[in-house]
Amino acid sequence: MSPLFRRRTPQVPETPENHLVTLIRKPGCHLCDDAQLVVEKVCGDLGVPWEQKDITEDRRLHDQYWEQIPVVLVDGRQHTFWRVNEERLRRALTE
């Protein structure tokens, strides 16, 4: 088919709303509580959806991240672990 008649897939611009932040944590973890406060603030400010997952309820996450929690994923890729830097997370979601 001629390139003139092919449909183009529109490019979706990279905006904060197009991201998903995942906080991987466990109950009773004070670093996890601190990380959640940062994730809630940054995602709330930018309108980015976020979710949390408990490593005690998911064996795969437990095996992969046990020594690093809390872990923050941006779009499924590891962004950081242990301590979450607000400005670094904000940049990752806006640049």
Residue 66 confidence (pLDDT)? 93
Residue 14 confidence (pLDDT)? 53
pTM: 0.81
Q: Which CATH number characterizes residue 54's domain? A: 3.40.30.10
Per-position pLDDT tens, the chain of length 95: 455 555 554 444 455 668 999 999 999 999 999 999 999 999 999 999 999 999 999 999 999 999 999 999 999 999 999 999 999 999 999 98
CA-based nearest residue to 71, from 61, 56, 57: 61
**3-state DSSP call for residue 94?**
helix
Residue 81 confidence (pLDDT)? 96
Domain residues for the domain of 31 are 21-93
Identify whether 71 is part of a domain.
yes
Residue 18 confidence (pLDDT)? 86
State the total domains in the chain. 1
Long-range contacts of 39-46 (CB under 8 A, 24+ apart): 39/72, 39/84, 39/89, 41/86, 42/86, 42/89, 42/90, 42/93, 43/93, 45/90, 46/16, 46/90, 46/93, 46/94
Identify whether 47 is part of a domain.
yes
User: Contact, 69 vs 29, CB < 8 A?
Assistant: yes
Identify whether 53 is part of a domain.
yes
